[in-house]
Amino acid sequence: MEMPFKRVVEATYLSTEKSDKYRAILRFFYQQHERLREFLFPEEVYAYLKEYPFFSDYELDELHNDLTSLVKWGNLRAQQESGKVKTVEEFKKRRFRYQITPYTVEFERMLIQFEQDSETFGGSLEKTQFERLYQTLEKMKGSADESPEECAQYWDDLLTYFKKITQNTSDYFAYLRSEDASEQMKSEAFLLYKDQFTLYLREFIIALQRTASGIQDIMISLSRDEMRLFFKKVAEHQEKVFRFEKLNQDVDLIIELEETWFNVKAWFLGDKNGESQYENVQQQTNDAIRRITRLVQRLGERSQLHRSRKTDYLHLANWFLKLPSPEEAHKLSSVVFGVSHTKHIYSDHIPTDDIYIDVWDEDPMSHERVPKIREYREKTKASALEDHTQLKNQTRQEHLEQRLREQELINRYRTGRDIVLEDLPMVNSFVRKVFLSWIGKAMARADQTIRTEYGDQVQVLLDPERRITLKAEDGELSMPAVTFRYLGKGEEHERTGTGV
């Protein structure tokens, strides 16, 4: 089998000493290819090149040598022209016409795209693409009676819209994270466009949320059997397109189409490896909006920091100057500067959580002030040491009695040395919690033997192959079959290795 990542000889013309001439020649071939002219004669290429001053010293023999090199690298195909030959001498000269190869067409197309976009990312957030994708999915859902041609067209539309969504969104977010965009956002001029930019992002995410749920619902509702019938029609139409390459291929088109469909679904619904890319787009859009908000806030603070208040003070001074009386000046002063003798008292008491309530509607509160001097100390009153021995003894006794009652309750479920959970009737919720705590402690030990809070040595025997249901007052618990076995002192010594 041929290695797929072989050396691309067709790209040689991009990195040689004569790349400027090779690229000019192939750019002319590409332009004519786009105009549906496939075969060109050397004289046509030479006439095109001589229009530029760079090729003023370029000779026709040199062009023939360059065309030979491009044929050798696989950028051009040479075909001998024998239809209009009139003499044997003309046939011996082997007059050729040339055709550009598919590899070179894609190279030139890519280079033109790079030249147009310079060094910046393209992309956009097109909200209409989601709506068109949704409409295409609706057509696919009702395509049971459609012809193979219609089904193939629906499939092509779906892939077209999906590729535009994925490529445009990824490129646009890469543009937002680029260094150039970050520098533009930090400039003062960005404040003029912040509202337009934020509206653009907000409208996109609203359209995304509105249509994505419908897209997800349709994708979930389309069963695998329905999609296989649909792909069968698409494959039937694609097989009608005759290509020589297909004669030696043994590919199941339905499986290929199905794999592509799974990838499209995973973009919106997610897969076993992680979250969906749709959620990622939502998150990145929200992050972009938050980032813009923070930048605008910082720009606003920076502009206020360096803003001169001279104009404001002059306006205020002229306002005072034009007032007719001192009484009016006092009124204006109270509004601008506040009342000079007012005292403000701060309290950490919050009578209500309602931020819209007026002060006079709140309940009154008391506030104790303390002197703001270093020597101030709060007065303390000496108190006698109380004896709590009786209370401690009473609490200890109640605790021991509670433990004894719990132990008696646990022992009710013993059958000899064992407590078999699958044989138990409905148990108390406290008992269920104790049993689960025993199981948890035993799982952390190699011998699965623990000492309970009541002083007993218990071995936990767990059968993971069988499932039982433990019924308790607060519900039923499905769990593996478990038996608690109480061990005697001799057995305990045997297990710990200390027996004689």
Domain of 25, CATH number, reads 1.10.10.10
Any domain includes 328 = no
Residues 416 and 455 grouped into a single domain: yes
Rounded to whole angstroms, the Cα distance separating 236 from 155 reads: 13
Residues 177 and 106 grouped into a single domain: no
Q: For residues 141-158, b (16+ Cβ closer than 10 Å) or e, as one string?
A: eebeebebebbbbbbebb
Residues 108 and 135 grouped into a single domain: no
Residues 75 and 131 grouped into a single domain: no
Residues 450 and 479 grouped into a single domain: yes
Please report the sign of the dihedral spanned by the C-alpha atoms of residue 96, residue 102, residue 105, residue 111: negative
Residues 108 and 128 grouped into a single domain: no
Any domain includes 54 = yes
| Phi and psi torsions of 194, nearest 5° | -65, -40
The structure tokens listed for 252 are 């199941």
Whether the CB-CB separation of 67 and 25 falls below 8 Å is answered with yes
Any domain includes 323 = no
Any domain includes 340 = no
The structure tokens listed for 136 are 């295409």
Rounded to whole angstroms, the Cα distance separating 136 from 162 reads: 11
Q: Sheet harboring 475-486: ordered strands across?
A: 418-420, 475-486, 457-472, 449-451
Residues 87 and 155 grouped into a single domain: no
pTM of the model: 0.40
Any domain includes 362 = no
For residue 445, give the nearest of 462, 468, 470 by alpha carbon: 462
Any domain includes 351 = no
The structure tokens listed for 302 are 């920076």
| Cα 112–chain centre separation | 31
The structure tokens listed for 164 are 């535009």
Residues 132 and 279 grouped into a single domain: yes
Rounded to whole angstroms, the Cα distance separating 317 from 322 reads: 9
Domain final residue, candidates 78, 101, 116? 116
Residues 112 and 127 grouped into a single domain: no
Residues 282 and 198 grouped into a single domain: yes
Rounded to whole angstroms, the Cα distance separating 143 from 230 reads: 7
Domain count, the chain: 3
Any domain includes 481 = yes
For residue 456, give the nearest of 486, 494, 484 by alpha carbon: 486
Q: What is the CB neighbour count within 10 angstroms for residue 227? A: 18
Q: Could you list the pLDDT tens digit for every one of the 500 residues in the chain?
A: 455 667 788 888 888 888 889 999 999 999 888 888 888 889 889 999 989 888 888 898 899 999 999 999 999 988 876 655 556 555 555 678 899 998 899 888 888 877 765 444 444 566 677 788 888 888 888 877 788 888 888 888 888 888 887 777 776 666 666 666 666 666 655 666 666 767 777 777 777 777 878 888 888 888 888 888 888 888 888 777 645 444 444 457 788 888 888 888 887 787 766 667 777 777 777 777 777 777 766 666 666 655 667 888 899 999 999 999 999 998 888 888 876 776 766 666 666 767 677 777 777 777 777 787 877 777 777 777 788 888 899 989 998 888 888 888 888 888 888 998 888 888 888 888 888 888 888 888 888 898 888 888 899 998 888 899 988 888 888 898 999 998 865 444 444 443 32
Please report the sign of the dihedral spanned by the C-alpha atoms of residue 485, residue 486, residue 491, residue 493: positive
Domain final residue, candidates 276, 296, 316? 296
Domain final residue, candidates 94, 116, 138? 116
Q: Burial of 305 by CB count in 10 Å (0-12 exposed, 13-18 middle, 19+ buried)? A: exposed
Any domain includes 345 = no
Q: Is 485 helix (H, G, I), strand (E, B) or coil?
A: strand
Boundaries of domain holding 263: 121-296
Give every CB contact of residue 381 below 8 A, 6+ residues apart in sequence. Answer: none
Residues 109 and 130 grouped into a single domain: no
Residues 108 and 145 grouped into a single domain: no
349-355-361 Cα angle (round to 5): 70
